[in-house]
Structure 1
Amino acid sequence: MIGALLFDFDGVISDSIEIHFRGWQEVLPPLGIEPDNLVLRSHEGEPAWRIAQEMCAAAGRPIDEKEAHRLAGLKNSWFRGQPRPELYPGVSEILDYAGRVGIRTAVVTGTNRQNLHHVLGEMSTRFDALFCDGDYARPKPHPDPYLAAVAHFGLPPEACTVVENAPMGIRAARSAGLFCIALQTTLPAAHLQEADLILPDHTALLRWLEESAPEIA
């Protein structure tokens, strides 16, 4: 049986990837760097400062960690000044189902807590735990974020299922020894092949939970 569902945030709970990309479009072009949407989507799940480094490196303009943190701070401040992104259709129904059958839930994300609460607001109380940048030693694709969630719930790895949408998070989940479902919300299936199961959207995830989850042990 599944004891806990561990959700990535941007691209899984929050339909926010394009807003983040617009933030990078505000921050990077003044430095002569054009942000690459595929770089963002491929590295989503990592902290914003790491994504800044990846975008600058892809443009042939590598930056050090101090500059990456500065740029990430600018982008995150811009992001929190925008209207709250929508949650994906089906998220509330999945949380309702988890509550009915006694599955614990957590958000496990590379975003910071300010961004998380900006998007979730009171919805954050519907999750049993929140793990953000700074709550673990090493970010995705390292296993630390998911290992922290597993330890918090006191469950064996085989009782925890991860829901992801990007390669960095999938690698983190698999490195932690967890069953990983990838949703095709921000990338096509070709980019998600390391996951144990690929589903198109949240409707399919809820159907899988209702029909198949009791068989996962």
Structure 2
Amino acid sequence: MKLKKIKSVIFDMDGVLIDSMPYHVKAWELAFEKYGLKINSEIIYELEGSDYKQTVKIIFERMGKKVKKQDIEFLGKEQDKIFNEIVKIKPFDGVVKLLKILEKKYDLAIVSGSNRKNVEKIVENNFKNVFKVLITGDDTNKSKPDPEPYLKALIALNIKKNEVIVIENAPLGIQSAKNANLFCIGLKTYLGDSFLNKADIILENHEKLEKYLLN
């Protein structure tokens, strides 16, 4: 993807803007324990960006178990309940400052697999009036790695594919952006290079991200 004049920057939320993934992981572990199943925490980091339906389906598949609709709904509601009980939202260091700089130059957006209620609550409490567009897991028929979430964001922002940069930190999100034919930066917040290797470039941390975007 050859970029033109950049008009927008799109961020994933969990693991890019806020350090929330450890809470999502713990909530999924506890939800599955209540269901009598033990899961490997690493799979949740790998599946970051997908909605709860896809997350449950993939975990059941990897366990060699058949999943029913009631399994998905129970585990999704249980995970959301536990997450909201234990989570302590904290933006990554430097994120608030970076967004204040970027919002003067670009239209900013979030594309997240989390439900709209949680996304709006986090944005209201931490990034009020910063983002022009929010695309959540409730707004799409298909979740990451399908391109639909990013294609919806492009329509809402009224921009072309070569006018945007996407920031992601997990394989499904990166694949979603690339399936939409967008330029994507892989940010190493929880996973290493081998998980992010489909991104156009990989950056070590938020400090490197700030330097890249401002230069």
Same fold (TM over 0.5): yes
- Counterpart selection for 2:114 from 81, 91, 111: 111
Which shifted more, 125-134 or 104-113? Answer: 125-134
Secondary structure of residue in 2 paired with 1:137 = coil
What CA distance in whole angstroms lies between the structure 1 residues aligned with 2:175 and 2:206? 21
Tell whether the 8 Å contact from 1:138 to 1:144 is kept in structure 2 after alignment. yes
Secondary structure of residue in 2 paired with 1:28 = helix
* TM-superposed deviation, 1:124: 4.1
What CA distance in whole angstroms lies between the structure 2 residues aligned with 1:119 and 1:56? 29
What CA distance in whole angstroms lies between the structure 1 residues aligned with 2:57 and 2:31? 13
TM-score (ref. length: structure 1): 0.91
* TM-superposed deviation, 1:172: 0.6
Which shifted more, 28-37 or 72-81? Answer: 28-37
Query: What does residue range 101-180 of structure 1 map to in structure 2 within 5 Å?
Result: 102-122=105-125, 123-180=127-184
- Counterpart selection for 2:82 from 61, 73, 78: 78
* TM-superposed deviation, 1:29: 1.4
Tell me what 1:214 maps to: none
Q: Which amino acid aligns with 1:12?
A: V
Query: What does residue range 200-215 of structure 1 map to in structure 2 within 5 Å?
Result: 200-211=204-215
Secondary structure of residue in 2 paired with 1:5 = strand
What CA distance in whole angstroms lies between the structure 1 residues aligned with 2:60 and 2:168? 25
What CA distance in whole angstroms lies between the structure 1 residues aligned with 2:17 and 2:70? 30
Distance 1:37 1:152, change over 3 A: same
1:69-104 CA distance string (max 9 Å, x none): 22111110111122432111121122112123x211
Secondary structure of residue in 2 paired with 1:125 = coil
Tell me the percent identity: 28
* TM-superposed deviation, 1:25: 1.9
Kindly report the root-mean-square deviation, in angstroms, between the aligned alpha carbons of the 2 structures: 1.5
Tell whether the 8 Å contact from 1:84 to 1:119 is kept in structure 2 after alignment. no
What CA distance in whole angstroms lies between the structure 2 residues aligned with 1:91 and 1:62? 41
Tell whether the 8 Å contact from 1:34 to 1:59 is kept in structure 2 after alignment. no
* TM-superposed deviation, 1:37: 1.5
What CA distance in whole angstroms lies between the structure 1 residues aligned with 2:47 and 2:66? 16
TM-score (ref. length: structure 2): 0.92
Tell whether the 8 Å contact from 1:113 to 1:133 is kept in structure 2 after alignment. yes
Establish whether residue 34 from structure 1 lines up as the match of residue 22 from structure 2: no
Establish whether residue 93 from structure 1 lines up as the match of residue 97 from structure 2: yes
Secondary structure of residue in 1 paired with 2:86 = coil
Q: Which amino acid aligns with 2:160?
A: P
Establish whether residue 62 from structure 1 lines up as the match of residue 66 from structure 2: yes
Which shifted more, 64-73 or 18-27? Answer: 64-73
Tell me what 1:197 maps to: 201
User: Tell me, which stretches of 5 or more residues in structure 2 are unaligned?
Assistant: none
User: Tell me, which stretches of 5 or more residues in structure 1 are unaligned?
Assistant: 212-217
Tell me what 2:24 maps to: 20
